[in-house]
Amino acid sequence: MMKFQHLNTWLPAVAQPLLIAGPCGAESHEQLMQTAKELKALSRVSLFRAGVWKPRTRPNAFEGRGEEALKWLADVKKETGFKITVEVANAQHTELALKYGIDVLWIGARTTVNPFSVQEIADVLKGVDIPVMVKNPIHADLQLWIGAIERIYNSGIPKIAAIHRGFHFYGKTKYRNKPMWQLPIELRALFPDLPIICDPSHISGNRELIPAVAQKALDLGMNGLMIESHFNPNVALSDEIGRAHV
């Protein structure tokens, strides 16, 4: 039976619910620093997020700045005091994130669907004391989500949170990803001490829907929110329709 550590044990003195914010993609040093400073002024955000490697469906789209962006995030951490979280999709990403002192890792929906990729990350993390957040897989497969969490847990990491970002749905829906709230509810029933964080930006796909989705998640007892934020969302290089202004 997996036993997870409470959020307060790996993010002490954090106000509840946990709030994670930052741009979908790290575009430039200036963009990261400006966004981080504005978020810091809110005195409410606990983790600064940014996509360093962006898995795109088709080539020639913005795919992130890679290792260079990790250097920028190190500057953000030094300048603002924010703890930093980034997405990792393979062993190389994980090793680089650890090298640059990233505080929390997350595994994205496209990676969660592949047990080989998750195990590759888990193998790198053996013996490492770092929190890991696991997003639900793209499609509504609770066992696949649990399997990814188990692989990270079996590497010796009890500081784990699940991230609910909605599920691909073929058909008409007002959301980018259908919430299917029953899945995170079932996950909570199976693992009562597993922190669950909602990503209303990916569920919504439209900044106007974010407040309602975020409130629904909190009403269901989720432990926090991950909200994509940009100091000038209209010029964001990725997923700008879902961006919330700082």
On whether residue 210 sits in a domain, the answer given is yes
pLDDT digits (tens, 9 = 90+) for 164-201: 999 998 878 888 899 999 999 999 999 999 999 999 99
On whether residue 103 sits in a domain, the answer given is yes
239 has a pLDDT exceeding 80: no
Provide the pLDDT for residue 60.
Answer: 59
CATH code for the domain in which residue 186 is found = 3.20.20.70
Q: Distance between alpha carbon 88 and the CA centroid of its chain, in Å?
A: 10
Q: Indicate the helix (H) or strand (E) that contains 180.
A: none
Model confidence band, residue 235 (pLDDT cutoffs 50, 70, 90): low
On whether residue 100 sits in a domain, the answer given is yes
On whether residue 85 sits in a domain, the answer given is yes
Provide the pLDDT for residue 242.
Answer: 41
Structural domain boundaries, residue 233: 16-245
Long-range pairs of 168-177 with CB within 8 A, sequence gap ≥ 24: 168/138, 168/139, 174/206, 174/209, 175/203, 175/204, 175/205, 175/209, 175/213, 176/202, 176/203, 176/204, 176/205, 176/206, 176/242, 177/202, 177/203, 177/205
| Residue carrying the six token digits 């699940």 | 162
Provide the pLDDT for residue 241.
Answer: 42
Arithmetic mean of pLDDT over the chain:
90
pLDDT digits (tens, 9 = 90+) for 62-118: 555 789 999 999 999 999 999 999 999 999 999 999 999 999 999 999 999 999 999
On whether residue 33 sits in a domain, the answer given is yes
On whether residue 8 sits in a domain, the answer given is no
Provide the pLDDT for residue 240.
Answer: 44
Provide the pLDDT for residue 236.
Answer: 59
Measured CA distances, 213 to 40, 82, 175, 177 (Å): 23, 25, 10, 12
Q: Where are the strands (E) in 25-87, listed by range?
A: 47-49, 83-87
Number of folded domains that form the chain: 1
Give the residue-averaged pLDDT of 4-15: 85
On whether residue 2 sits in a domain, the answer given is no
On whether residue 6 sits in a domain, the answer given is no
Provide the pLDDT for residue 53.
Answer: 80
pLDDT digits (tens, 9 = 90+) for 25-66: 899 999 999 999 999 999 899 999 999 986 655 565 555 578
Measured CA distances, 91 to 71, 87, 120, 131 (Å): 19, 12, 6, 16
Provide the pLDDT for residue 63.
Answer: 57
Q: Which residues contact 171 (CB under 8 A, 6 or more apart)?
A: none
